[in-house]
DNA sequence: CTACTATTTCAGTATCTTCTGAAAGGTCTA
DNA sequence: TAGACCTTTCAGAAGATACTGAAATAGTAG
């Protein structure tokens, strides 16, 4: 079984998916479970996950719950079976949209708000005593403004790619042209 | 000094920038140093960094070195001064390009190569004994192919945004239209 | 060459994250 | 209501990451 090429591919992918996620600040085990389910031809139960990835019941439960909260994994109930089964979202563009939307909300929004606040503070500082000259104020304002403009542009790009990316480059170009008008 | 609005903005931004980076798998201190230098009106030396962020000499040295390796920070030498000073890249789009290019190389490329390898393995598995039916082979192939197509599309988007993003949406649309043709 | 100044390295430590395993909690059936 | 079965929770353990502080290294001027 282990030297079966399909099985090799499966294990290799799961391992690397976990490593990539880990380097982007997502728990390795959570990503491995996601990969396992992404490749599974049918829903798996908690014990399947525990067995295949060699993790404890607690870890499997917690990580499956998190994946469910992200809407990357769905809980499936079967008649005459008390167990819960899990199935992954398999639309890659949908996965992308979910991940970007959530991470933006949790991990980018705070800095965006902070920058707005900083711009307000900088304006407050203009002409205040001990605040450095107007040159300093302008320098700060420039730096903050540049970051804000960048985040706004990226925001637009991601929204667009989420919406039109799956359709290919042509519709993406069309949408973008409309936005740029 | 602490209640100076400019100073408040500076400290707030440095703190948040570090937090955001930490949640994306980049060392908090490294990001704080980067933010400190990004806002500094002129180059700072190691002792400035140690003092302002309250970190040890070892940490300052290591993190500055890393930022230099990323080309997000430059080392400056002054005549009649043995000390080294540091200055940040201040072009936000350039920062973006550097970060994406490096992280792609280090943390995305491995999974891309793995997927290619998986697709090869899957083809090897076709018709092999114990490998599951052709239906299984096709299912695996589909999942891997979808991820590969996605990564290729994203690759294109990032290259494009790196090149044309700073120019605004219009040139971006123009470039994209050319690509899509 | 020596003294002086600045930078790098690294073993030990601290901190943060994630996992484990077992107990507690839920839910269904007889 | 008891018993079977499954899931969740959480205190303690393990592991990963990053920091500290001091010794080693490197470079420069006299």
Average pLDDT score over chain A: 91
pLDDT tens digits along A6-21: 999 999 999 999 999 9
Domain count, chain B: 2
Per-residue pLDDT for A137 more than 80? yes
Q: Quote the CA–CA distance of B144 and A43 in Å, as a whole number.
A: 18
Identify whether residues B56 and B107 lie together within a single domain.
Answer: no
Residue B163: per-residue pLDDT: 85
- Backbone phi and psi for residue B133, each to the nearest 5 degrees, phi listed first: -70, 175
Q: Which chain B residues contact residue A24 at CB under 8 A?
A: 24-25, 107
| A28 contacts A21 by C-beta, under 8 angstroms | yes
Of B4, B128, B176, the CB nearest to A5: B128
Which nt has its C1' nearest the CA of A18? C18
Q: Quote the CA–CA distance of A4 and B29 in Å, as a whole number.
A: 45
Q: Which chain B residues contact residue A110 at CB under 8 A?
A: 16, 19-20
Residue B1: per-residue pLDDT: 63
Identify whether residues B96 and B65 lie together within a single domain.
Answer: no
The last residue of a domain, from among B55, B88, B121:
B88
Identify whether residues A43 and A66 lie together within a single domain.
Answer: yes
Buried b (16+ CB within 10 A) or exposed e, A115-150: bebbbebbebbeeeeebeeeeebebbbebbebbbeb
Identify whether residues B167 and B124 lie together within a single domain.
Answer: yes
Return the residue in B31, B100, B114, B126 with the most chain A beta carbons within 10 A, the one to mutate for interface testing. B114
Identify whether residues B74 and B99 lie together within a single domain.
Answer: no
Q: What is the pLDDT along chain B (181 residues), one digit of tens a residue?
A: 667 889 999 999 999 999 999 999 999 999 999 999 999 999 999 999 999 999 999 999 999 999 999 999 999 999 889 999 999 999 999 999 999 999 999 999 999 999 999 999 999 888 776 667 788 899 999 999 999 999 998 998 888 888 888 887 777 777 777 776 6
Identify whether residues A60 and A103 lie together within a single domain.
Answer: no
Q: How far is the CA of B82 from the C1' of D27 (A)?
A: 9
pLDDT tens digits along A66-94: 999 999 999 999 988 999 999 999 999 99
Percent of chain A with pLDDT over 90: 73
**What average pLDDT does range A25-36 have in this prediction?**
98
Which nt has its C1' nearest the CA of A25? C17
Q: How confident is the model at residue A134 (pLDDT cuts 50, 70, 90)?
A: confident
Q: Quote the CA–CA distance of A176 and A113 in Å, as a whole number.
A: 26
Q: How confident is the model at residue A2 (pLDDT cuts 50, 70, 90)?
A: low
The last residue of a domain, from among B59, B88, B117:
B88
Identify whether residues A50 and A113 lie together within a single domain.
Answer: no
List the CATH number of the domain containing A9.
1.10.10.10
Range of B164's domain?
A: 92-180
Q: How confident is the model at residue A174 (pLDDT cuts 50, 70, 90)?
A: confident
């Amino acid at each position: 079984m282990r030297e079966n090429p399909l099985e090799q591919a499966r294990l290799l992918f799961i391992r690397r998916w976990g490593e990539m996620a880990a380097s982007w600040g997502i728990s390795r085990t959570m990503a491995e479970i996601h990969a396992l389910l992404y490749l599974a031809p049918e829903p798996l139960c908690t014990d399947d996950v525990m067995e295949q990835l060699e993790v404890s019941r607690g870890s499997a439960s917690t990580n499956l719950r998190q994946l469910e909260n992200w809407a990357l994994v769905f809980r499936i109930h079967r008649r005459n079976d008390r167990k819960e089964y899990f199935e992954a979202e398999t639309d890659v563009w949908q996965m992308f949209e979910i991940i970007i939307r959530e991470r933006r909300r949790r991990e980018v929004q705070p800095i965006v708000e902070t920058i707005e606040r900083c711009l307000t503070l900088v304006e407050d500082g203009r002409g205040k005593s001990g605040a450095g000259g107007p040159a300093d104020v302008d320098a700060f304002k420039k730096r903050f403004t540049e970051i804000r403009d960048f985040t706004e542009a990226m925001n637009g790009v991601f929204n667009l790619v989420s919406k039109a990316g799956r359709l290919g480059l042509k519709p993406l170009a069309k949408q973008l042209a409309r936005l740029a008008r």
